[in-house]
Structure formats: C-alpha cells, structure tokens
C-alpha cells in the first residue's frame, strides 16, 4: 500500500526531507512498523527517527506507535510541539 509521509521542524531539517509518498511492504501496518521501516534506510534516517520523544499523527490526528495505517493515509513524524 501507498502512504504519504510528512516530517516537521527539527526532524524535517535533520532528514533534509519535508515529505514523501512511499510504497510500503507487507508487514508494515502501524506507525511503529513504519518508523522501523524508514530507520532501516541507513544512519541518516535511523538517528533522527530514534529520538525518544518523537510524536506521530495519522490523518492529522495525534497517534501512537500502535496506531494502524492504511492505504492512502497521511502519516506525520515530528518533535514535541512548541507553539503558543
């Protein structure tokens, strides 16, 4: 299945990437699995994505590592928010 992935703020800068559309292999069905899949691309992905305080959203709602993702979903990775 295909999903849209977005990266924000310090994570976007560290990855040098604001977003991408990715074809996921079988076995990647939730946010945690997607994170592991992206980290496997190499150190430049593994290091930024291993931050303990990373936050996630699926279809623009806050999500956790267990949150399921399906075809066409929009998944976002970002640091803790600091607005206001």
Partner 1 sequence: MTPGAISVQREDFDPGREADALIAGRRDVGAVATFVGLVRDANEGCGVDAMTLEHYPGMTEAALEEIVADAQQRWPLQGVRVIHRYGRLETGARIVFVAVASAHRGAAFAACEFIMDFLKTRAPFWKKEETPDGGRWVDAREADDDAAARWQKKA
Q: Is 61 in the site for partner 1 (CB under 8 A)?
A: yes
Within 2-31, which residues bind partner 1 (CB under 8 A)?
6, 8-10, 12
Q: Is 78 in the site for partner 1 (CB under 8 A)?
A: yes
Q: Is 45 in the site for partner 1 (CB under 8 A)?
A: no
- In which residue are the tokens 């996630």 written? 56
**The pair of three-digit structure tokens given for residue 43, joined into one six-digit string:** 């150190």
In the complex with partner 1, the residue whose CB is nearer, 53 or 71, is 53
Spatial CA neighbour of 59 closest among 76, 83, 45, 71:
76
Q: Give the separation between CA 58 and CA 61, rounded to whole angstroms.
A: 5
> Where do contacts with partner 1 occur on this chain (CB under 8 A)?
6, 8-10, 12, 53, 57, 60-62, 76, 78-84
């Amino acid at each position: 299945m295909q999903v849209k992935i977005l990266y924000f703020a310090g994570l976007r800068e560290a990855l040098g990437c604001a977003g991408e559309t990715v074809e996921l292999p079988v076995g990647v069905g939730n946010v945690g699995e997607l994170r592991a899949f992206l980290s496997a691309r190499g150190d430049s992905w593994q290091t930024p994505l291993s931050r303990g305080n990373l936050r996630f959203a699926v279809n623009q709602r806050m999500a956790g590592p267990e949150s399921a993702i399906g075809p066409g979903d929009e998944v976002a990775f970002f640091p803790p928010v600091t607005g206001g």
